Structure 1
Amino acid sequence: MPYPQIKRRQSGFTLIEIAIVLVIIGLLLGGILKGQELINSARVKNLASDFRNVPVFIYGYQDKFKSLPGDDSEAVAHVGTGSVTPGAGDGDGVIEGTWDSGTAAVPTEAFLFWQHVRLAGLAPGPTALTAPDYQQRNAVGGFIGVQGGAPFTGMSGTYFICSGNILGRFAKQLDTQLDDGNTATGSLMVGTTLPTAIATTSIVDATPDISPLRRAFSCLKHFPRIPRITPATP
């Protein structure tokens, strides 16, 4: 005797259930992307703050001692015996050396800049030149420093603040926030090698000079708000 066939209910997702899942996934992805966008925006703002803080250190030092930090030939008298100025600090009104140059054994004025502003109580950080974390870092972990000579062709100023290890896409946003939006002109310029800056249009995905994910450095020119310091007489 044949048994009657029992129809089994088919298991699976309905179109409504699938649609709900897709909506949830979309919301999650949108939230993640928006969160990453906010994080990146905060990083750019912090990088901009790094640039803005350096003139505050310089102006504060000038107000106190009428000298440029790093270049100060009277640093021992001004900030104490903790300052060391062999072969630097000649008081000629120019911060000599490049922003990322110098060592504890052979310190340039650019290297001594951070020691002077820290000993003066203007900036946080170690004052010993041999400290492993002596060199100032920016918001993304790259070096930041000051120099008197123009880092890029076409730049003019009394001193220049340079910050490294910056993603190309961050550098573009930084230029828009601080300058004219063109990374090859104006007060802020971007590049990977000296002395040529890279245009914003070259920071693209296709055959880039600098890709949005490649590391670069940005330099911002400044002029002091007090007259140039008179060079020391020999």
Structure 2
Amino acid sequence: MHNKKGFTLVELAIVLVIIGIILGGVLKGQEIIKNAKIKRLYNDYQGYVAAIYTYQERYGALPGDDRNAATRFATCNPVPTNGDGDGRMDDEDGTTWGRYWHHLRCAGIIPGSGSTHPTHAFGGRVYINYNDYNISGHTICFQNVPGDVADAIDRTNDDGIPNSGSIQGDGSATTYDPATSYTLCFRL
């Protein structure tokens, strides 16, 4: 007679319970990380709004639209391009994208240098525009936001509909698709 050794059902059950606990912890950890990124994206939006209003209060002009930026920040490297004073921060001429970031950085309001667009927690670029989607006026937009994230932010802070309200991710859709990435724009 051969004496075969193996795992008992109790031992197998204990191993499965341990695997379940580990998987549960990993999934919960991923959820916590994702929720932190969502919060960080929304906080970044609020920080950019505060930076823009700080600049406007301090210098009497909008960043990117400041006609005196080159003189005001002559020691900034590189020296920024002046705005045209039309009341719009966006770079409607298409040649000076990110001028608003450069003005904010030269003023020491946000970190960095030059006109490079910052990126957000999900890796997309952040920019300022005018009349995006169905929002009139200035918007702060975050590119490549996952659909479930865009939905969560819009639902928590606005109306949850991608084509209405002060937060929009699409000019015509009525629901967010979790499999689609959006450019999520916030009214300034």
Change over 3 Å in CA distance of 1:139–1:181 after alignment to 2: same
TM-score scaled by length of structure 2: 0.89
2:40 counterpart (21, 30, 46): 46
Q: How many residues align?
A: 186
Gaps of 5+ in 2: none
Cα distance in 2, alignment partners of residues 190 and 197 from structure 1: 9
Matched, 1:181 2:160: yes
**Where does residue 220 of structure 1 map in the other structure?**
186
Letter in 1 for 2:147: G
Moved more, 176-185 or 212-221: 176-185
TM-score scaled by length of structure 1: 0.73
Q: What pairs up with 1:83-98 in 2 under 5 angstroms?
A: 83-85=79-81, 89-97=83-91
Letter in 1 for 2:181: R
Gaps of 5+ in 1: 1-6, 204-211, 223-234
Letter in 2 for 1:39: I
Q: Share of identical aligned residues, percent? A: 37
Cα distance in 2, alignment partners of residues 124 and 198 from structure 1: 35
Cα distance in 2, alignment partners of residues 11 and 27 from structure 1: 27
**Where does residue 232 of structure 1 map in the other structure?**
none
Change over 3 Å in CA distance of 1:161–1:197 after alignment to 2: farther
Given that residues 73 and 80 in structure 2 are in contact (C-alpha distance below 8 angstroms), is that contact kept between their aligned partners in structure 1? no
Cα distance in 2, alignment partners of residues 177 and 97 from structure 1: 31
**Where does residue 150 of structure 2 map in the other structure?**
171
Letter in 1 for 2:174: A
Letter in 2 for 1:177: T
RCO higher in structure (CA 8 A, sep ≥6): 1
Given that residues 142 and 163 in structure 1 are in contact (C-alpha distance below 8 angstroms), is that contact kept between their aligned partners in structure 2? yes
Tell me by how many angstroms 1:183 deviates: 2.4
**Where does residue 58 of structure 1 map in the other structure?**
52
CA RMSD of aligned residues (A): 2.0
Structure with the higher fraction of residues in helix conformation: 2
Which is greater in Rg?
Answer: 1
For residues 38-82 of structure 1, give each alpha carbon's deviation from its aligned partner in whole angstroms, at most 9, with x where no partner exists. 011011111111211111111110111110000111112333354
**Where does residue 208 of structure 1 map in the other structure?**
none
1:199 counterpart (158, 169, 174): 174
Change over 3 Å in CA distance of 1:219–1:197 after alignment to 2: farther
Given that residues 190 and 197 in structure 1 are in contact (C-alpha distance below 8 angstroms), is that contact kept between their aligned partners in structure 2? no
